[in-house]
Chain A
Amino acid sequence: MTIVDLIALLRFSLEASSQIAGLIDRYRGNPEAELTPDEIDAVRGSLAMAEAEYHARMAAAGLVTQRDDGEGEKAHGSESVGLGGEPA
C-alpha cells in the first residue's frame, strides 16, 4: 500500500465517520421522527451532489459510469455510455 492509498483510505474513513455521527445525532432522540420537507430537500440535494462528485471522480480515474438521466459520463479516451449501455 502506497502513501497515496493510505491518504485515500483516511479521507474515506473520515467522510464515513462524519456521516454516521450526523445520523446518530439526528435519530438518537426520536427514531420515529419524520423529516420535514426542507430536510427531505436537503437529503435529496446531498444525494445529487454526491452523485455528481462520484461520476467526476470515476471519469477522472478513466472509468465510464452510467448516468440515471440517460447521459453517459465520458471518460478520457472512451465512448460515452447511457443508461442500459446504449451509446449516448
Chain B
Amino acid sequence: MTAHALKAHGSKTHGSESVGLMSAVVLVCVAMIGCAASPSARYAQAVAGYRIALSGIATAAEAGLLDQDETDTIEAVRVPVKLTLDRVGGSLRSGEAVPPTDLEQLADLVRALETTLRAAETDAAESRTEASP
C-alpha cells in the first residue's frame, strides 16, 4: 500500500487513536529519564524511552496517522535527541565524566519532543473534525 493510500486510509479518520498513542510514548520517555540516579542509568533509561518513542512514531506512520509535514516536524526534534544520546553514550563508554548539563539538555530535548508530538496530535484531531460532515 502506498503512503498516499495509507494516509487516505487512516490519517483523517483515526486522529483520536494517535492522540492516545503518542501521549503514552512521550510520558514514558519523560518518566524513565527521571527515575534513575547514576548517569549511565539515566542514559540507559533515556535510550529505552527513545526506542519506545521510535516504535510508537513508526506504528502511527504505518497506520497512516502521520503525513510528511507532521513527520518533518517530529524529525526536527527527534534528531537532536538522538545526537545527544550518541554524545552521552560515547562519553560514558570512554570513561569521561558526563556533565550534568548534558543530562539536563537531554531531558529538555525529550520535553520538546513531547510538545511536538502533542501538537501533531492536536492537528490530527482538528483535521478529523474538519473532515466530519
* A and B held together in a complex: yes
Mark each residue of chain A from 14 to 51: 1 if its CB lies under 8 Å from any CB of chain B, else 0. Answer: 01100110110011000111110101110110110011
- Which residues of the other chain, A, contact B47 by a CB distance below 8 angstroms? 43-44, 46-47
B interface, over-half SS? helix
Contact of B51 among A1, A26, A50, A63 (CB under 8 A): A50
Mark each residue of chain B from 49 to 71: 1 if its CB lies under 8 Å from any CB of chain A, else 0. Answer: 01110111111011110101001
Contact B41 A58 (CB under 8 A): no
B17 within 8 A of A: yes
Contact A16 B52 (CB under 8 A): yes
Bound CA–CA A20/B78 (angstroms): 21
Contact B89 A83 (CB under 8 A): no
Size of the chain A interface, CB-CB below 8 angstroms? 49
Bound CA–CA A34/B64 (angstroms): 40
In the complex, what's the smallest C-beta–C-beta distance from B85 to chain A, in angstroms? Answer: 6
Known contacts: A63-B66, A68-B83. The answer to whether A9 contacts B59 by CB under 8 A is: yes
Query: Which of chain B's residues 70-101 have a Cβ closer than 8 Å to chain A?
Result: 71-72, 75, 78-79, 82-83, 85-86, 89, 92-93
Of the A-B pairs whose beta carbons lie under 8 Å apart in the complex, a sample of 12, sorted by A's number, is A1-B14, A9-B21, A16-B24, A20-B28, A22-B48, A27-B35, A37-B93, A40-B92, A43-B47, A50-B51, A53-B58, A62-B2
